Chains A and B, each alone.
Chain A
Amino acid sequence: MNVGVIVFPGSNCDHDCQHVFQDVLGQSVQMIWHKETSLKGIDAVILPGGFSYGDYLRTGAIARFSPVMGAVKAFAKDGGAVIGICNGFQILLEAGLLPGAMLRNKSLHFICKDVYVKVENAATAFTEACESGQVLKIPVAHADGNYYTDPVTLAAMQANAQIVLRYCTPEGKVTPEANPNGSLDNIAGIINPEGNVLGMMPHPERCAEEILGNQDGKLIFQSLLKAMKVKV
């Protein structure tokens, strides 16, 4: 599989995503500068974490205007698989590829720690290597991960099983205490109605190797490979 990792000015998890796909999963990776306008030959797109354009305005608000975003939108519209992680998720929201918006964390602080998320929908291209209801330990690292949307959209997402990952306790209970940032309905990750675009705040690329003590994140990427029928 040929994975395209988009590099915005200020992206800082681009190398981490490249490392996981290339060195851990043995796929070919192309780093795509934000000024590019074509995604020719790319099988899946990753919008990595970071602080695109410094995030001095609303997170992701400037990155959505980057030239490459036109190509990303077209790619998604054609059914191509897109994953936005952390700042990538925020950019997908700003670009309208996923519904909703991010507020500042409830604590008003940046939070970096392991959290637990429950796989609410294991029948997606990004979770099919997981069991339904499986609890994954994946770290978060963000200041603006407090997901919000209007009640109508939320109800629609719930009805369509678009809420893929929710913050939970280590035992899998979805409680307010397990919610690190105040996110609506404990939302940690969502997909679009078509199921080919995923946005998630936790960083699966940070826990995909034994040497880092946790490989739960690998399941997200393995799901994608499985969905794309790639042999690893």
Chain B
Amino acid sequence: MSLVITKELIAQHNLTDDEFKKIVEILGREPNLTELGMFSVMWSEHCSYKSSRVHLKKLPTTGPRVIQGPGENAGVVDIGDGLCVVFKMESHNHPSFIEPYQGAATGVGGILRDVFTMGARPIALLDSLRFGGLDTAKNRHIVKGVVAGIAGYGNCMGVPTVGGEVVFNDIYSLNPLVNAFCLGVAQKDKIFLGTAAGVGNPVIYFGSKTGRDGIHGATMASDSFDDQSEKKRPTVQVGDPFQEKLLLEACLELMAGDLLVGIQDMGAAGLTSSSCEMASRAGNGIDLDLTHVPRREPGMTPYELMLSESQERMLMVAKAGKEEECIRICKKWDLDVAVVGKVTGSGILRVLDQGKVVAEIPAKSLADDGPRYERPFSPPGYQDMLTNLNYDALPDVKDANAALLALLESPTIASKRWVYEQYDHMVRTNTMVRPGSDAAVVRIKGTNKAVAMTVDCNSRYCLLNPYEGARLAVAEASRNLACSGAEPIGLTDCLNFGNPERPDIMWQFVMAIEGMKDACEHFKIPIVSGNVSFYNETNGLSIYPTPMLGMVGLIESADKTMTQWFREDGDDIILLGATREDLGGSEYLKVQHSREQGSPPYLNLETEQAVQHCVLQLIRTGLIQSAHDCSDGGFAVALAECCMSGPDQPHGAVVRLTPGRQRNDSMLFGESQSRIVVSAKPAQRQAILDQAQQMGVPATVVGVVGGASLVIYVGGERSTTKTVDLPVATIADRWGLSLERRLSQE
């Protein structure tokens, strides 16, 4: 089978002429078709990070708790007691648009494997989702499919989906985002890496059989979409969570014995990536004999076997002589298993089939020597138009009741109960704070500790100013953790952007990296793992820049865990932080004035940190009953959420705001940063105010919990105008059932 590698064939593999020349140089000859395919997936944007790598290097990745930073299957951070948490977030955007259920399901499957491959038992999943508006049937179909896919996979695996966020904006109609985060717990001294060390050690394949699904998935994920994208459905993999559950238990049993040298899952680029990356990390080679690879159907070519992205497969390098024990454990769990090769000292990934060499490539060249691009970047011409907004031309809010209800009903702010009730969020009996608070909290069995997790990114802020938007995302994530009583210990990112070959998109990317870097360095939060998803573009229209963050925090004493909702009538309501005139980029401007314009809210990192330290101190000393950060929709929405997001009956509240010279709408709905609404027993009032003053944080008693309505007076001390006056039952109904109602339209 000698096939001439034509220009068309090279282009079909998404390789440039220069990249092809480099391949010829590496091999000293033209590649055959199998080799061309292997290079094309490994050198795809998805696998090689060729456009992003030079910039990702700027991010802070180290810290006293960091055990494993970027470059492995997932990041690892020490939490004491001989334990560590292993976490990562990854995108599955492209497949989820083509086939919502399977795209989302296999996204969950992939991130779970990344975590248990490291030797950790996954204990929590979170998801960050972006969809178009719910007024089109197509978008509703995508939402339902994605949510069902996440539920179908995570529920069956018995890993709780404890939190996440969902944002709706028409910019995501043709490019929905599905970012899945997973966290696992492992013993600190029992971390497994993807390395093929030890010449002569056997290479063992286990898990599902290899089929013809998902071939070129990584290449598909590295391309823009057009009207023909639905035809790419065959590149989407099909998930089998039951098989993955068996794989998980088998892996943990294998790891409990002294059997393994290294292990890696077959994710994007399947057998090719797992073999060449493990070999490259160890500086070794691998001889891989495809003859023994379990397969779903006869007649599969080496090209198909090496590029298949069939799910639920793993490659392990066992200690010599331990093959039989490995095979026994895999068989106990009814998995396919076969010795498919051995580690060599040649540095070459040599692939054989029926005794014939079908590919022979230096492993390191394939895994690590892909092209690197310093792509040109410059701000788009429309940037000024986005940020310039004449607020004087916008009338102040007239009917604040209607405005608040409209915000509470907007799908981005409305309760996500319809979503998370489809996820098993309690299995493994660790969930202390369920979905619906600022951060999800799970206890760590066998210790007094708990871990808090949140996923955050306001992509509108990032559109208006990618540098500020990224800083704001770090600040908000960290604030969400602080409100739950946790100190941030690490971050994973999932950077969703458009086409990096466009200078304006590359500019968004570079600025966002700078923003993340500055904020993370200030807060001393290391970024330990992550993923880049480019080409989120359809017919030339890009998504908003969406550098999604998954942040993990530690609560040293689990009984000092805090939630966002009011607990008792009669409690004081205290606002920590100051309200500025920050209407730019707000959800209010979008919902009320149909504008996504202006400058994102002002952020001072020192002020932010002081507020976070203050709330942590108040939680640890037991002075407060609840803490909720102000974000989308501003103070009024935060207050409404405090009233009704709790598990029990909703509470009312009576609050007075004195605006000085500020507009009413910015007082109520502006999204000033570094603000937290807390509630506390009146007896603690003075202690709280003293504590805040000591830490240099503005703190104002603004009202009291209680009554059947949410009432907000805006004006001087004696003002009797109820700017907001709504029965709690009304806001609970509008906020609580909005999503359900919109999704039940036919």
Query: Which residues of A, 1-23, contact B by the 8 Å Cβ criterion?
Result: 9-10, 12-13, 15-16, 19-20, 23
Q: Which residue from A12, A54, A110, A209 sits with its C-beta under 8 Å from B151?
A: A110
Residues of A close to B156: CB separation below 8 A: 10, 12, 51, 54-55
Number of contact residues on B: which range applies?
20 to 34
**B424–A110 contact, CB under 8 A?**
yes
Question: Is there a chain B Cβ closer than 8 Å to A77's Cβ?
Answer: no
Residues of A close to B429: CB separation below 8 A: 16, 19-20, 205-206, 209, 212
A109 smallest CB distance to B (angstroms):
5
**A211–B422 contact, CB under 8 A?**
no
Query: Which residues of B, 392-446, contact A by the 8 Å Cβ criterion?
Result: 420-429, 431-432, 443, 445
Q: A13-B158, A213-B432 are in contact. Are A56 and B427 (CB under 8 A)?
A: no
**B426–A112 contact, CB under 8 A?**
yes
Question: Is there a chain B Cβ closer than 8 Å to A139's Cβ?
Answer: yes
**B428–A15 contact, CB under 8 A?**
yes
Question: Is there a chain B Cβ closer than 8 Å to A141's Cβ?
Answer: yes
Question: Is there a chain B Cβ closer than 8 Å to A148's Cβ?
Answer: no
A140 smallest CB distance to B (angstroms):
10
A15 smallest CB distance to B (angstroms):
7
B336 smallest CB distance to A (angstroms):
14
Q: Which residue from B152, B426, B445 sits with its C-beta under 8 Å from A141?
A: B426
A215 smallest CB distance to B (angstroms):
12
**B432–A51 contact, CB under 8 A?**
no
**B242–A112 contact, CB under 8 A?**
no
Question: Is there a chain A Cβ closer than 8 Å to B333's Cβ?
Answer: yes
Q: Which residue from A9, A50, A54, A141 sits with its C-beta under 8 Å from B240?
A: A54
Residues of A close to B169: CB separation below 8 A: none
Question: Is there a chain B Cβ closer than 8 Å to A174's Cβ?
Answer: no
A146 smallest CB distance to B (angstroms):
16
Question: Is there a chain B Cβ closer than 8 Å to A64's Cβ?
Answer: no
Residues of B close to A143: CB separation below 8 A: 155
0 or 1 for each of A28-58: is its CB under 8 Å from B? (1 = yes): 0000000000000000000001110111100
**B245–A206 contact, CB under 8 A?**
no
Residues of A close to B246: CB separation below 8 A: 9-10
A86 smallest CB distance to B (angstroms):
10
Q: Which residue from A49, A50, A110, A114 sits with its C-beta under 8 Å from B647?
A: A114
Residues of A close to B428: CB separation below 8 A: 15-16
A112 smallest CB distance to B (angstroms):
5
Residues of A contacting B: mostly: mixed
A18 smallest CB distance to B (angstroms):
11
- Taken together as a complex, chains A and B put the C-alpha atoms of A222 and B158 apart, in Å, by 25
B649 smallest CB distance to A (angstroms):
10
- Taken together as a complex, chains A and B put the C-alpha atoms of A13 and B426 apart, in Å, by 10
Question: Is there a chain B Cβ closer than 8 Å to A111's Cβ?
Answer: yes
B555 smallest CB distance to A (angstroms):
12
0 or 1 for each of A108-125: is its CB under 8 Å from B? (1 = yes): 011111100000000000
Question: Is there a chain A Cβ closer than 8 Å to B515's Cβ?
Answer: no
Q: Which residue from A49, A54, A213 sits with its C-beta under 8 Å from B242?
A: A54
- Taken together as a complex, chains A and B put the C-alpha atoms of A206 and B432 apart, in Å, by 11
Residues of B close to A206: CB separation below 8 A: 426-427, 429
Q: A51-B242, A54-B156, A212-B432 are in contact. Are A9 and B334 (CB under 8 A)?
A: yes
**A12–B426 contact, CB under 8 A?**
no
Residues of B close to A53: CB separation below 8 A: 242
Residues of A close to B422: CB separation below 8 A: 109-112
Residues of A close to B151: CB separation below 8 A: 109-110
Question: Is there a chain A Cβ closer than 8 Å to B598's Cβ?
Answer: no
Q: A51-B155, A141-B155 are in contact. Are A111 and B245 (CB under 8 A)?
A: no
Number of contact residues on A: which range applies?
20 to 34
0 or 1 for each of B139-157: is its CB under 8 Å from A? (1 = yes): 0000000001001100111
- Taken together as a complex, chains A and B put the C-alpha atoms of A211 and B429 apart, in Å, by 10
Q: A19-B445, A51-B156 are in contact. Are A9 and B421 (CB under 8 A)?
A: no
**A211–B426 contact, CB under 8 A?**
no
Residues of B close to A112: CB separation below 8 A: 155, 420-426
Question: Is there a chain B Cβ closer than 8 Å to A203's Cβ?
Answer: yes
Q: Which residue from A9, A54, A109, A139 sits with its C-beta under 8 Å from B426?
A: A139
- Taken together as a complex, chains A and B put the C-alpha atoms of A205 and B240 apart, in Å, by 27
Question: Is there a chain A Cβ closer than 8 Å to B241's Cβ?
Answer: yes
**A10–B242 contact, CB under 8 A?**
yes
- Taken together as a complex, chains A and B put the C-alpha atoms of A187 and B246 apart, in Å, by 32
**B421–A111 contact, CB under 8 A?**
yes
**A212–B431 contact, CB under 8 A?**
yes
Please give me the residue from chain A that is nearest to B450 by CB atom.
Answer: A211
Residues of B close to A205: CB separation below 8 A: 429
- Taken together as a complex, chains A and B put the C-alpha atoms of A209 and B443 apart, in Å, by 12
Residues of B close to A203: CB separation below 8 A: 426
Interface centre among A20, A141, A203 (most CB of B within 10 A): A141
Interface centre among A111, A206, A211 (most CB of B within 10 A): A211
B207 smallest CB distance to A (angstroms):
14
- Taken together as a complex, chains A and B put the C-alpha atoms of A109 and B744 apart, in Å, by 13
Question: Is there a chain A Cβ closer than 8 Å to B558's Cβ?
Answer: yes
- Taken together as a complex, chains A and B put the C-alpha atoms of A139 and B425 apart, in Å, by 10
- Taken together as a complex, chains A and B put the C-alpha atoms of A78 and B428 apart, in Å, by 32
Residues of A close to B240: CB separation below 8 A: 54
Query: Which residues of A, 172-215, contact B by the 8 Å Cβ criterion?
Result: 203, 205-206, 209, 211-213
Residues of A close to B157: CB separation below 8 A: 12
**B241–A51 contact, CB under 8 A?**
yes
- Taken together as a complex, chains A and B put the C-alpha atoms of A55 and B333 apart, in Å, by 16
**B241–A54 contact, CB under 8 A?**
yes
Please give me the residue from chain B that is nearest to A53 by CB atom.
Answer: B242
Please give me the residue from chain A that is nearest to B242 by CB atom.
Answer: A54
A145 smallest CB distance to B (angstroms):
13
Query: Which residues of B, 318-352, contact A by the 8 Å Cβ criterion?
Result: 333-334
**A211–B443 contact, CB under 8 A?**
yes
**A12–B425 contact, CB under 8 A?**
no
Q: A9-B242, A10-B245 are in contact. Are A50 and B424 (CB under 8 A)?
A: no
Residues of B close to A213: CB separation below 8 A: 432
- Taken together as a complex, chains A and B put the C-alpha atoms of A209 and B558 apart, in Å, by 13
Residues of B close to A10: CB separation below 8 A: 156, 242, 245-246
Please give me the residue from chain B that is nearest to A17 by CB atom.
Answer: B429
A179 smallest CB distance to B (angstroms):
15
Q: Which residue from B148, B158, B333 sits with its C-beta under 8 Å from A9?
A: B333
**A211–B242 contact, CB under 8 A?**
no
0 or 1 for each of A133-147: is its CB under 8 Å from B? (1 = yes): 000000101010000
Sorted nearest first, the 3 A-B pairs with minimum C-beta distance are A12-B158, A54-B242, A51-B156
* B residues apposed to A, CB below 8 Å: 148, 151-152, 155-158, 240-243, 245-246, 333-334, 420-429, 431-432, 443, 445, 558-559, 647
Instruction: Name 6 A/B residue pairs within 8 A (Cβ), A-sorted.
Output: A13-B427, A19-B445, A51-B242, A53-B242, A113-B421, A211-B558
New contact pairs (10) apart from A112-B422, A141-B424, CB-CB < 8 Å: A10-B246, A12-B245, A51-B245, A54-B245, A56-B242, A110-B155, A110-B422, A112-B155, A141-B155, A206-B429
